Copies of this chain bind each other. A is one copy, B any other.
Amino acid sequence: MLFDKPREECGVFGVFSPKKTDVSKLTYYGLFALQHRGQESCGIFVNDGVEFRSYKELGVVNDVFTGERLTELGSGEMAVGHVRYATTGNADKANAQPIEVRHMRGRFALAHNGNLVNSAELRRGIEKDGAIFHSTSDTEVIAYIITRERIKTQSIEEAAGLAMDKLCGAYSLVIMTGDKLLAVRDKNGFRPLCIGITDDGAYIAASESCALDAVGARFLRDVEPGEIIVFDKDGMKSIKTHCNKAPRSVCVFEYIYFARPDSVIDGCSVHKARLRAGAFLSVEHPVQADVVIGVPDSGIDGAIGYAARSGIPYGMGFIKNKYIARTFIAPGQKSREDKVRIKLNPVVNTVREKRVVLIDDSIVRGTTSGRIVKLLRDAGAKEVHMRITSPPFINPCYYGTDVDSSENLIACRHTVSETAKIIGADSLGYLSVESVKRIAGEEGGYCCACFNGQYPTRLPKDAGKDKFENNISD
């Protein structure tokens, strides 16, 4: 990781193409656009009407899916894809998605973004019946819950609906069966999920609208919290039985950091939300300065917003080495300061002898922020005023990100002024919780639990990422 940022769990993508087109390549392009949501493993399942073909592997989309592999996956009527970080379960291949399930009535492939709060209880119940698990992820629990309903019901959508009564937490799902594709979003709508249609008439479901753009699909609409959308030979069908059964609580950090700026989530442009965050910040924490700069890439939008509202000129403060890949391993014994410098170099001309406002989206541990401030001072900045386009992290997230351990969160252990001192800034200002709720619109409906502790669901009995990892007795 370049900087210590929270990490999103996953991105999902599905396509239903009655004309049997090159669905594996469409999915490849879609996953490539969603790569920022998970870089640990990826997978694609294709259904060509006769069989499922699949490939999943640790690695990024562009490495895992070579032209040869995509040719093997080939064309078909449907496909489902996934990119993943590990938030529950280890980073091993057993947890890669989509997962495939073979049951009495057939089979399905499942891709999941989010985290349940009741997976441990659900799992224990299933295990009592002699079930076996191959992985430690929530996704296998969801698969079981759906399967157990499926063998008692007539259709996958019915089974999914019954499963929603049991599942609690965050889940945006794409499910592919022999003849249907489903898009399912949990009742709170924690994670984004939207649908679109290509000129060829192929339906697309994707975590973010940028993936629709990448495959040339037209945005239709967001999947509503609690909604099940079914694509099959008869077209598209919506099941809203579970809608409006829980308060809407979209993760506000999707707007601040996770999602791509060119995506539009639940009606609000991510880029616009970030500009607004920067603008609000300039009102809440004004400062006399000569230039506003952002930490690439996620602080740039906020910086533009701050600059525009404050009237202080925007400048390009850093050059990021664009050949830095996720897999960049800085060899050798150089200090971590040096490693930051290899990735990020200040533009001396922008900051020398200047009072600088430095915008970033968040601070987790604070170490990287400290290094970045130092780079600016070494480059001749007279003052560095750090401004953060979100409130301090002080609570764990149970809905599919890795903000979980208070001991790693600088804001849990230090006041704002202490933090400013630790990172070496002349001043430090966070966006207020009140403002962050308004960045994507005035009507509310956002989960800010990591900032304010107000969780929209009950809490897990046994929170913690490795909850299924360690019992190996006979």
Contact = CB atoms under 8 A, between A and B. Distances in A.
Interface in A331-358: 331-334, 338, 341-342, 345-350
A184 interface: no
B128 A132 contact: no
Contacts of A334: 25, 29
A33 B330 CA distance: 13
A262 B130 contact: no
A136 B102 contact: yes
A51 B321 contact: no
Contact of A133 (B101, B304, B321, B322): B101
Contacts of A269: 347-349
Interface stretch (A4-12, A148-156, A239-247, A281-289): A148-156
A35 B321 contact: yes
A463 interface: no
Interface stretch (A104-112, A383-391, A442-450): A104-112
Nearest to A144: B132
A300 B303 CA distance: 15
B319 A210 contact: yes
A308 interface: yes
Given A103-B131, A105-B474, A214-B342, A319 B67 contact: no
Interface string A76-104: 00000000000000001110000111111
Contacts of A151: 127-128, 130
Contacts of A33: 321, 342, 345
A133 B103 contact: yes
Given A316-B301, A474-B106, A148 B130 contact: yes
Interface stretch (A113-121, A174-182, A405-413, A429-437): A174-182
Contacts of A345: 33, 210, 213-214, 260, 262
Interface string A457-474: 000000000001111111
Contacts of A261: 316, 319, 347
Contacts of A468: 102
A106 B147 contact: no
Contacts of A348: 262, 264, 269
A70 interface: yes
Nearest to A145: B130
Interface in A213-239: 213-214, 216
Interface string A302-320: 0010001000011110110
A452 interface: no
Given A213-B345, A261-B316, A261-B347, A470 B179 contact: no
A100 B94 contact: yes
Interface string A268-310: 0101100000000000000000000000010011001000100
Contact of A474 (B179, B308, B347): B179
A323 B35 contact: yes
A166 interface: no
B179 A332 contact: no
A47 interface: yes
Contact of A471 (B99, B106, B325): B106
B271 A51 contact: no
Given A33-B345, A36-B323, A99-B134, 9 more contacts: A22-B333, A28-B331, A29-B338, A62-B328, A104-B124, A105-B473, A132-B143, A179-B474, A264-B348
10 nearest A-B pairs in the assembled complex, by CB-CB distance:
A104-B127, A178-B472, A130-B148, A269-B349, A102-B133, A178-B473, A177-B474, A262-B319, A25-B332, A101-B132
